[in-house]
Amino acid sequence: MEKKTLEEVVSFCKRRGFIFQSSDIYGGFAAIYDYGHYGTLLKNNIRDAWWKSMVQERDDVYALDSAIFMHPKTWEASGHLAGFDDPQVDCKKCKQRMRADHILEEFGIEADKAPMEFINEKIDELKKEGKVKCVNCGSTDLTEAKRFSLMVKSNIGSPVDVLSEENVVYLRPETCGGIYLEYKNMMNSVHPKLPFGIAQIGKAFRNEIVARQFIFRTREFEQMEMQYFLHPDQMKEKYDFWHELRWSWYLEYGIPEEKMNWHKHDVMAHYATEAYDIEFNFDSLGGFKEVEGIHARGDWDLSQHSKHSGVDLSYTDDQTKEKFIPHIMETSVGLNRLVLMFIDNGYTKENVDGEERLVLKIDKRLSPIKVAIFPLMKNKPEIMEQAKKIHESLKRKWMCEFDTSGSIGKRYRRQDEIGTPYCVTVDFDSLSDKSVTVRDRDTMKQERVKIEDLESYLSEKLSL
């Protein structure tokens, strides 16, 4: 099968109303994207599928929606102000910015979280060999790597125009911070017993040096995170449990196991004891890229916030009376990356009777539109009336679309491209036999179904 390019996917997403460049009429805004009608529906369906698995179907995970803005001391306690950064290299000729660690990775040198001294040493070695060049102009005249903070600043609540360390407020770089700050309130309100988790979905912001991989790496993005609080003796058991559970979720929603990979971190944050990423093999990005991280974080987070806030965040076991700071096992997913993953995986070109068919083969539960209703001819009032009745009935249960534009063949192709599992056609025979033609997206087979049985028929098909 011919591999798809990133340019092809970007074009498809814009043409079919999935994803647009932000501020497009002004020439766009780098690394920021807006979701169109179908993109919003797809993203929300993925979000809801994660939420169902992580919260609704569990008795030990609780919901939270914390604020984007938090007290500035939050980021001092967490270490973000001191060390949440990437190594930046600039081209002296064209001023192009580059990630130094990404440059090294191209030469097989693992530099994630590596000290700046190590990065500059390796960059210098490659410079001497003439291997490092500007990705934009090809110049070899590059700066040394330097620290580039990923924190995005704001003056919210401040009457002054100039930002300083005294008045700056940061937009959260990840959603887990709010979970740690509300841990005590959750304990005091819903009274959970260890082990338990707190999950939330929300926006995060990072001042990325380079963001050129469409929605995979952006400066504004959505995370789906769950922090699982436990006794340190439970970490191995629970880590293995969530490790397996999260892998199974991707398989359940149609991601082939051969396109997935576990990546073990060799270099970890000083407080972590285990860190794995689930990677997906993106055609459009040229290989395996991280979509989810599963990390054993120790007691660093609660210990730091307890120390800097002066608030006791320890837990006392009712039975043993042991008092301790809970350790944390984390699952962290990029929702935008999952949107790209499902599009990349489902985007399929087929040859049908000598013609190319483009179809988005994604799990029916995730499809933006579940059922499309076609009146065979829009200039026949009796057919239009029957089709509208069916549409009004079905849209109470599913996201449906009423399509009258173009031939039936063109309507099928349009719905194929946005991933609609079933198309229902109302024709002249429908007026007499009270039946409609239902066409399957993947097999393209057509079946005649009684109108009175249509809802139950679709319910059975869409629940598979």
Q: What mean pLDDT comes out for the span 236-247?
A: 96
- Out of 126-135, 169-178, 187-196, least confident range: 126-135
Give the separation between CA 178 and CA 172, rounded to whole angstroms: 9
Identify the sign of the CA torsion 443, 448, 454, 460: negative
Structure confidence at residue 160 as a pLDDT band (50, 70, 90)? low
pLDDT per residue as tens digits for the range 321-342? 999 999 999 999 999 999 999 9
Give the contacts of 78 (CB within 8 A, at least 6 positions apart): 177, 180, 301, 304, 305
Percent share of the chain, pLDDT over 70: 98
Q: Is the pLDDT of residue 212 over 80?
A: no
Identify the sign of the CA torsion 230, 205, 30, 224: positive
pTM of the entire predicted model: 0.92
Strongest mean pLDDT among 147-161, 264-278, 443-457: 443-457
CB neighbour burial string for 347-386, b if at least 16 within 10 angstroms, e if fewer: beeeeeeeeeeebbbbbbbbbbbbbbbbbbbeebeebbeb
How much is the pLDDT for 290?
96
Q: Which of 226, 199, 224 is nearest to 64 (CA)?
A: 199
How much is the pLDDT for 158?
72
Q: Is the pLDDT of residue 143 over 70?
A: yes
Q: What mean pLDDT comes out for the span 93-112?
A: 86
How much is the pLDDT for 111?
79
Give the separation between CA 271 and CA 255, rounded to whole angstroms: 32
Give the separation between CA 246 and CA 291, rounded to whole angstroms: 11
Structure confidence at residue 131 as a pLDDT band (50, 70, 90)? confident
Structure confidence at residue 159 as a pLDDT band (50, 70, 90)? low
Structure confidence at residue 269 as a pLDDT band (50, 70, 90)? confident
Q: Is the pLDDT of residue 129 over 90?
A: no
- Out of 7-21, 92-106, 359-373, 450-464, least confident range: 92-106
Q: Which of 75, 112, 66, 71 is nearest to 301 (CA)?
A: 75
Largest CA distance in the chain: 82
Classify residue 54 by its DSSP letter. Answer: I
What's the alpha-carbon Rg for the chain, to the nearest Å? Answer: 26
Please provide the distance, in angstroms rounded to a whole number, between the alpha carbons at the two ends of the chain: 27
Strongest mean pLDDT among 116-120, 207-211, 430-434: 430-434
Q: Is the pLDDT of residue 75 over 80?
A: yes
Structure confidence at residue 199 as a pLDDT band (50, 70, 90)? very high
Q: Is the pLDDT of residue 103 over 80?
A: yes
Identify the residue with better confidence: 226 or 137.
226
Q: Is the pLDDT of residue 308 over 70?
A: yes
The full DSSP string for 256-305 is -GGGEEEEE-SS--TT-SEEEEEEEEETTTTEEEEEEEEEEEETHHHHHH
Q: Do 442 and 361 contact (CB within 8 A), yes or no?
A: yes
Q: Is the pLDDT of residue 211 over 80?
A: no
Q: What mean pLDDT comes out for the span 168-181?
A: 93
pLDDT per residue as tens digits for the range 340-369? 999 999 999 999 988 999 999 999 999 999
How much is the pLDDT for 49?
98
Identify the residue with better confidence: 389 or 75.
389
Q: Is the pLDDT of residue 99 over 90?
A: no
Q: Is the pLDDT of residue 101 over 90?
A: no
Q: What mean pLDDT comes out for the span 388-395?
A: 97
How much is the pLDDT for 164?
66
- Out of 201-215, 241-255, 327-341, least confident range: 201-215
Classify residue 130 by its DSSP letter. Answer: T
Q: What mean pLDDT comes out for the span 82-99?
A: 87
Could you tell me the CA-to-CA distances from 443 to 262, 271, 350, 363 in Å, in that order? 33, 51, 12, 14
Q: Which of 300, 316, 268, 302 is nearest to 198 (CA)?
A: 302
Give the separation between CA 79 and CA 73, rounded to whole angstroms: 10
Average pLDDT of the chain is 93
Q: Is the pLDDT of residue 260 over 70?
A: yes
Structure confidence at residue 245 as a pLDDT band (50, 70, 90)? very high
Percent share of the chain, pLDDT over 90: 73
Q: Do 210 and 99 contact (CB within 8 A), yes or no?
A: yes
Identify the residue with better confidence: 203 or 156.
203
Give the separation between CA 143 and CA 145, rounded to whole angstroms: 6
Structure confidence at residue 78 as a pLDDT band (50, 70, 90)? confident
Identify the residue with better confidence: 208 or 397.
397
Give the side-chain half-sphere CA count within 13 A for 298.
10
**Within its chain, how far is the Cα of 171 from the centroid?**
19
